[in-house]
Chains A and B, each alone.
Chain A
Amino acid sequence: AQRVTQPEKLLSVFKGAPVELKCNYSYSGSPELFWYVQYSRQRLQLLLRHISRESIKGFTADLNKGETSFHLKKPFAQEEDSAMYYCALSGRGSQGNLIFGKGTKLSVKP
């Protein structure tokens, strides 16, 4: 069964500190992993996808198949990074259903 686990409901860090939002997944095939973000009073939107190996707003995420993890990292957190972050999984070759974790609220304090 497909499952995405985000163990932290809330993560609070100070500005300039490193941040890591954890995501673990369960999937029997080859998954595609994503991070979505929802800023206050805004729509949920794509932050980054694993296949692109991109860095968006200073965030990166590496897919570790051995540990079945896709943790989101940023070396120096900014106050504007405060938001709700959701890890999501889609199975390759599936009908495209996207399964989300329960989300982690990141709070960056000044």
Chain B
Amino acid sequence: GAGVSQSPSNKVTEKGKDVELRCDPISGHTALYWYRQSLGQGLEFLIYFQGNSAPDKSGLPSDRFSAERTGGSVSTLTIQRTQQEDSAVYLCASSPLHVSTANTIYFGEGSWLTVV
């Protein structure tokens, strides 16, 4: 596709349920990022994948959060036993290589998660 694609665009789930959010990066991009955007918290880094390297998971807020990237392309962010504080926009981004002077990170439109 022309840009980073995320699904679902909107998700309402009950507290305690598990959710999966999907990201299709731009074809050929080796780096993939997940961020969480919420009011008052700005953009919170969650996890970063770069090629075949071990992902940087330092931003995951708890062990209820996990992410995979299969075949170096599509990524899935999973939130188990969702809580109301998990309500936010989850943004995915990709770039051709790590962020540098030559490359730019491209964002998807986000997945709006509401936990009720």
Contacts and interface: CB of A to CB of B under 8 A. Distances in A.
Interface residues of A, number: 23
Contacts, number: 63
Contacts of A90: 98-100
Q: Which A-B residue pairs are the 5 nearest by beta carbons?
A: A96-B98, A102-B42, A100-B43, A44-B107, A90-B99
Contact of B100 (A45, A86, A96, A101): A96
Contacts of A101: 42-43
B4 to A, nearest CB: 8
Given A97-B48, A101-B43, 9 more contacts: A6-B42, A32-B99, A44-B93, A45-B107, A95-B53, A95-B98, A96-B48, A100-B42, A103-B43
Interface stretch (B9-17, B33-41, B76-84): B33-41
